[in-house]
Amino acid sequence: MSFLVIGECVADIVRAPAGSGAADRVHPGGSPANVAHGLARLGRDVVLLTQLADDPAGRLIADHLKGAGVRVEIGGVPVRTPSAVVGLDAHGRATYAFDIAWTLETGAPRAETPAHVHIGSIAAVTAPGAAAVLAEVERLRERATVSYDPNVRPALMGEHAAAVARVERCVALSDLVKASDEDLAWLYPGEDPRTVAARWSALGPAVVLVTRGAAGSFAFTGRETVGTEAPPVTVVDTVGAGDSFMSAVLDALAGWEREALAGIGTEHLTELLRRATAAAAVTVSRAGAQPPDRAELDAAGERFALRCGRAS
């Protein structure tokens, strides 16, 4: 099965916590790029349609992606590769300050139609490139399933009501949506995440997934809500955790067509959440967006399943 991921690459400049004495680190990043990288690490055939400049950060990111097996397509060359200064608090939680422009050009129709298209984050809602992203999704979705992760970056979202409308348009185009509780808190202040999941489900997605950090995650289908806990882990930083979760979800659902997703049941959802949560746990245990390969994910998933079995 082939995947097409459309979205930004970002050079993450990770600032060490004040007083730690550690040096800053530069990591390849960008939520869609991380998802593509995670899928490739799991052995999936994946193309990333993105923008990279021919500068040190761009070459670093391109080598990182291609080294994992991602096929990179450049949709227009920006003046410089986007970057984000990532601040970490004492618990490894990240905040971001961005230097990014998004002017994607999709070009001629692709010769091969992917089986699945994933979009997200800055690229799906930032003009002028977002229009090209959505046009490509609308063109491909008749023959491909679609997933979306808003991965909200408040500093880049603009006026709140307009930002919510853009996010909801992406939700309506998707078969599967993943969001964090922090995303939902910014988009819909004060609303219960389950209420938002139900409303998004009514817009069209067969499955809405919500991650809640150490509190675990849940899936909403319109028929039921299925949840799972998070395994205990020593957190180095949270960079890329949600993207690893998303990659593991897409890997687990590879080959599922739209009708099958619409009928997904409790057993599959439980296993899906546990495997994706295990992927995120591996990622937060090491610095930067370093998702597990298949052997690491299989081992982590088995440990998590055994733990859940003992707990039950």
* Cut 0.75: pTM above it: yes
DSSP string spanning the chain?
-EEEEE---EEEEEEPPTTS-PPPEEEEE-HHHHHHHHHHHTT-EEEEEE---SSHHHHHHHHHHHHHTPEEEESS--SS--EEEEEE-TT--EEEEEE--------SPPSS--SEEEEEHHHHHSTTHHHHHHHHHHHHTTTSEEEEE----HHHH-SHHHHHHHHHHHHHT-SEEEEEHHHHHHHSTT--HHHHHHHHHHHS-SEEEEE-GGG-EEEE-SS-EEEE-------S--TTHHHHHHHHHHHHTTT--HHHHHT--HHHHHHHHHHHHHHHHHHHTSSSS----HHHHHHHHHHHHHHHHHH-
Q: Provide the residue type at 290 as one letter.
A: Q
pLDDT higher for 165 or 293?
Answer: 165
* Residue 234 binned pLDDT confidence (cut-offs 50, 70, 90): confident
- Taking residues 292-312, report their average pLDDT: 75
pLDDT higher for 162 or 88?
Answer: 162
User: What are the pLDDT digits (tens) for 22-67?
Assistant: 677 778 999 999 999 999 999 999 999 999 999 988 999 999 999 9
Given this model, what pLDDT does residue 310 score? 47
Report yes or no: 197 and 211 within 8 Å, Cβ to Cβ: no
- Taking residues 116-136, report their average pLDDT: 95
- Would the pLDDT of 86 be above 60? yes
User: What are the pLDDT digits (tens) for 190-207?
Assistant: 999 999 999 999 999 999
- Would the pLDDT of 241 be above 80? yes
Given this model, what pLDDT does residue 48 score? 97
Given this model, what pLDDT does residue 1 score? 62
- Burial (Cβ within 10 Å: 0-12, 13-18, ≥19) of residue 312: exposed
* Residue 283 binned pLDDT confidence (cut-offs 50, 70, 90): confident
- Would the pLDDT of 312 be above 50? no
Given this model, what pLDDT does residue 17 score? 65
Which has the closest alpha carbon to 104: 122, 86, 83?
122
User: What are the pLDDT digits (tens) for 132-163?
Assistant: 999 999 999 999 999 999 999 998 899 999 99
* Residue 92 binned pLDDT confidence (cut-offs 50, 70, 90): low
- How much is the mean pLDDT over the chain? 89
- Would the pLDDT of 311 be above 70? no
pLDDT higher for 222 or 239?
Answer: 222
- Would the pLDDT of 276 be above 90? yes
